[in-house]
Structure 1
Amino acid sequence: MFTDEEFEKYLKELDNPDLSEFEFFTESTGVKVYRRYNKTSGLYDYKTIGGIDVPVDTCFAVYTDLEYRKKWDSYVKELYQFEEDGKKGVYWRVAFPFPLSNRDYVFVRETREFDLNGKHIYVCLGRSAEFKSKKEKSGVVRVNDFLQSMIFTSDGNGTKAFMHYYDNPRGMIPTWLINWAAKSGIPGFLAKMVIACNSYDKYLASKK
């Protein structure tokens, strides 16, 4: 799905993020967000860098646990992994506020772990992909231009994280509204994720 070169590229960004084409956007709870303008779509892609005050193993487990995501993320309406012709994919339907239509995503995701310079690093790469079995649904807008890559390592007690994110939600949504929503949406997602991490042991215990 993803090449060794793609993983190596993101590994380098953890300690030396490439921000040459990005501008500072916002900062919240120790996490800095940078953005880059896309002339074609009128939207931005984002890079976030900062610390999350939870152990890295827990942070990675929560981020990749699709079943748990449905418990703590109220915007998730459907989320599951599937397989088609030996290729694994993820289907994700997201609730948008009224009167906007829900959006859905079909994408591939791959995780790898690395030991580099004395650090154990988790990398999770995801991007849009087409699957014949996942046709567009009536009343739901398909987001077919999506990228989300996350890199985690320990900063001693908590987690040092890097994220690169872009999506084009399509439909009749003004670009200024999408860009405005990102300013609170990205830090908001990270804040909810911290809460989810702190409740993860309790969730796992409830499944036994």
Structure 2
Amino acid sequence: MGAAGCFSEEQFREACAELQHPSLSGAKWELLVETLGISIYRQLDQQTGLYEYKVFGVLEDCSPELLADVYMDLDYRKQWDEYVKELYEKECNGEAVVYWEVKYPFPMSNRDYVYVRQRRELDFEGKKVLVILARSTSVLQFPEKSGVIRVKQYKQSLAIQSDGKKGSKVFMCYFDNPGGQIPSWLINWAAKRLES
């Protein structure tokens, strides 16, 4: 999937709608954890045997603008995320593309992501909502590296609005398939450990 075209208006509006009216019925979403005003749900992806996650909640004392700025700031992420080996943005075919290599513990191979992302501010049902969408892409400027496994299935949507006080109401949906020879039960176990 190439970088051109990026995201549709409908994709941005779907993230806004999910923030206002969580969509958990009709699908097999299960509540995984609920703590500190945050609820994390997961749903098994039948094709990969991995889980897709949805997160809903309120982050007090953190404005929507600050959250979105932190999410978009790759240099800042390099300061606090010890698993970042390489992370930068590059212009490819007229579009900003992010390259991100993640350190994995021995004996596993590092993973890398090549993805596009877009941030927009929308007026949705009379509310200002910041939406950031991201998904994996493939461009010639980022060939696969020997010894590093390319994550070819990655998608994330993030919608943020004011909670009416000093904080933010947040929705996030996330899925990635790290590929390689890691059994899906181990990936799902590790994800559950990180969430608790």
Same fold (TM over 0.5): yes
| TM-score, normalised by the number of residues in structure 2 | 0.91
Q: Structure 1 residues 42-51 or 20-29, which shifts more? A: 20-29
Would you identify which runs of 4 or more consecutive aligned residues in structure 1 move more than 4 Å? Answer: none
Tell me the equivalent position of 2:7.
Answer: 2
- The one-letter amino acid paired with 1:133 is Q
Residue 95 of structure 1: aligned partner: 103
Report the alpha carbon displacement of residue 119 of structure 1 after superposing the two structures with TM. 2.5
* 1:124 aligns to 2:129 (yes or no): no
How many residue pairs get aligned? The number is 187
**Match of residue 33 from structure 1:** 40
User: Where does structure 2 lack aligned partners over 5 or more consecutive residues?
Assistant: 1-5
2:16·2:124 contact (CA, 8 Å) conserved in 1?
A: no
Which residue does 1:205 correspond to in 2? none
- Distance change (3 Å), C-alpha of 1:28 and 1:76: farther
- 1:26–1:183 Cα contact (<8 Å) kept: no
Letter in 2 for 1:144: K
Root mean square deviation, CA, Å: 1.3
Q: Matches of 2:184 and 2:35 in 1, distance apart?
A: 23
2:150 maps to 1:142: yes
Could you tell me which residue of structure 2 aligns to residue 182 of structure 1?
191
- What SS class does the counterpart of residue 145 from structure 2 fall into? coil
* Aligned equivalents of 1:11, 1:69: Cα separation in 2: 25
Runs of 5+ consecutive residues of structure 1 not aligned to the other structure: 189-208
Q: Provide TM-score, normalisation by structure 1.
A: 0.86
Percentage identity across aligned positions? Answer: 48
SS in 1 for 2:97: strand
Deviation at 1:48, TM superposition (A): 0.4
Q: Which residue of structure 2 lines up, in the alignment, with residue 194 of structure 1? A: none
Q: Deviations over 1:174-204 (max 9, x none)?
A: 211111222243x48xxxxxxxxxxxxxxxx
Aligned to 2:72: 64
Structure 1 residue 42 and structure 2 residue 34: aligned? no
Q: Secondary structure at the match of 2:185?
A: helix
Q: Distance in 2 between matches of 1:115 and 1:4?
A: 12
Deviations 1:61-108 (A, max 9, x none): 111111111111111111111111212211011111222111000011
For the Cα contact (< 8 Å) 2:135–2:156, is it kept in 1? yes
